[in-house]
Structure 1
Amino acid sequence: MDEKTIFLSKAANLFIENGAKTVTMDEIAKEFGISKKTLYQKYKNKEELLEEVLKHRLEVVIDRLQYLDDNVENAIERMICRDEEIDKVSHANNNILIRQLLKYYPAIFQKHMLNFSSKFSEVLVHNIKKGRQQGFYRDDFDAEIYSKIFFQLVMSYDSSPFFDTAVIEREHFMQETLMLYMNAITTEKGKEVLKNVHQK
């Protein structure tokens, strides 16, 4: 891991544990044993550092998802594998960093979520293309729109006024969301595979 990656990973942990607004540039400089002047030579302000940290975190998540793409040949099995990674991502949607981004840095949050949606959709569209070639997914739907709908549903657990999270457990919500999506896109052949994979 290079020096910049280590720095961004540690800075991300600071923001996740303490929040985007709470952590100061002074505290970051102190944490890394560097002067504030040195830190400002790398990043002109906290907003720029936050954007870089969010970009880094997104790359880590997308890399993990693409790793599954490269290592699981069956498109449906690939989606079932993804469930654990999606859960980690959606769970992070309610941490102090995200809550403070929403409140104090809405433009940065909005930019991050649009970027996240775009990158996540690329992974799903690739999966849809593979599944269509394997005869598991229908051809008569817009892959990009469906992938973004799925992303929106996955990310809605903590923020939707329609789900009582005290009653509906996250794991159950994620499983049902995945099955809703998969049943919407699969052919009859795909549904048989889905049934077998889901029962394992």
Structure 2
Amino acid sequence: MKEKILVKATDMFLNLGFKSVTMDDIANEMGISKKTIYAHYENKTHLVEESTSNLFLVISSGINDIIAVQKNPIEELYEIKKFVMLHLKDEKSSPQYQLQKYYPKIYDDLREKEYDLMFDSVVENIKRGLELGIYRSNIDVDFVSRIYYSGAFAIKDHKIFPSSKFKAADLEDYFLEYHLRGIVTPKGRQILNGIINSNQE
């Protein structure tokens, strides 16, 4: 039951928002009593913490599986983007914004873990791209990795990119193309254009 509550709560948090969903909503949706939820999770903060922690483990494990296949680094970034978007439900409800505003401690802890995972994987991606000659040899790996990380979070800032003007999926596409066009060689550009064209078909 604990696992079922976690799965349902995570799904509702991502679709409706961490603040918007109440313990009553989860109980009603599952057809169980609120008391049953409290038997496994002492309060909503605990449930939010477990939910985000579990989601992070699922996503980080999936990213590691994608990286282990050792695809072309450009393809790899697109695979990771697709995988993350699938698990975050296209972030319809701005869950990151709600998490940051109403559960700042959980948000900060999660962001720290995300930084370690994302920064390391981006560094490895760039190094492999350099070895394959699809990323420019004169780029500063440390700088580009940090810029990529910063940008990935900036596009989720609704003050800069209001959801009334930008769809989350479009922003992810724009940002990834922007990042790659700045670092690819002519050889890499051919691969990138091929992926973009196939995605538009």
**Distance of 2:32 and 2:5 partners within structure 1:** 12
In the alignment, is the contact (CA less than 8 A) between 1:101 and 1:108 conserved in 2? yes
Matched, 1:91 2:90: yes
Query: 1:59 Cα deviation (Å)?
Result: 1.8
| Distance of aligned partners of 1:142 and 1:4 in 2 relative to their CA distance in 1, 3 Å threshold | farther
CA deviations over 1:3-24 (Å, ceiling 9, x no partner): 7654422231243355434555
Q: Choose the corresponding residue for 2:193, options 169, 192, 195.
A: 195
Cross-structure match for 1:71: 69
**Distance of 2:129 and 2:77 partners within structure 1:** 10
**Distance of 1:170 and 1:96 partners within structure 2:** 9
| Distance of aligned partners of 1:147 and 1:85 in 2 relative to their CA distance in 1, 3 Å threshold | farther
Cross-structure match for 1:126: 124
| Distance of aligned partners of 1:95 and 1:117 in 2 relative to their CA distance in 1, 3 Å threshold | farther
Q: Choose the corresponding residue for 2:78, options 77, 80, 89.
A: 80
Cross-structure match for 1:106: 104
Matched, 1:154 2:152: yes
Q: Quick one: which amino acid aligns to residue 91 of structure 1?
A: D
Bigger drift between 78-87 and 179-188 goes to: 78-87
CA deviations over 1:68-111 (Å, ceiling 9, x no partner): 2233521122223334235444932x526444323322222222
Q: Which runs of 5+ in 1 are unaligned?
A: none
| Distance of aligned partners of 1:176 and 1:14 in 2 relative to their CA distance in 1, 3 Å threshold | closer
**Distance of 2:165 and 2:22 partners within structure 1:** 37
In the alignment, is the contact (CA less than 8 A) between 1:20 and 1:50 conserved in 2? yes
- Output aligned runs, 1:3-42, within 5 Å: 5-24=3-22, 31=30, 33=32, 36=35, 42=40
**Distance of 2:24 and 2:162 partners within structure 1:** 39
| Distance of aligned partners of 1:62 and 1:148 in 2 relative to their CA distance in 1, 3 Å threshold | farther
Bigger drift between 27-36 and 106-115 goes to: 27-36
**Distance of 1:165 and 1:25 partners within structure 2:** 27
In the alignment, is the contact (CA less than 8 A) between 1:157 and 1:165 conserved in 2? no
CA deviations over 1:121-166 (Å, ceiling 9, x no partner): 2332232232222222234444454334323323433524344554
| Distance of aligned partners of 1:123 and 1:90 in 2 relative to their CA distance in 1, 3 Å threshold | farther
| Distance of aligned partners of 1:43 and 1:141 in 2 relative to their CA distance in 1, 3 Å threshold | farther
In the alignment, is the contact (CA less than 8 A) between 2:41 and 2:47 conserved in 1? yes
Q: Quick one: which amino acid aligns to residue 136 of structure 1?
A: I
Query: 1:60 Cα deviation (Å)?
Result: 1.8
Query: 1:54 Cα deviation (Å)?
Result: 0.3
TM-score, normalised via structure 1 length: 0.72
Query: 1:57 Cα deviation (Å)?
Result: 0.9
**Distance of 2:94 and 2:169 partners within structure 1:** 21
In the alignment, is the contact (CA less than 8 A) between 1:90 and 1:155 conserved in 2? no
**Distance of 2:26 and 2:166 partners within structure 1:** 38
**Distance of 2:23 and 2:89 partners within structure 1:** 28
State how many pairs are aligned: 196
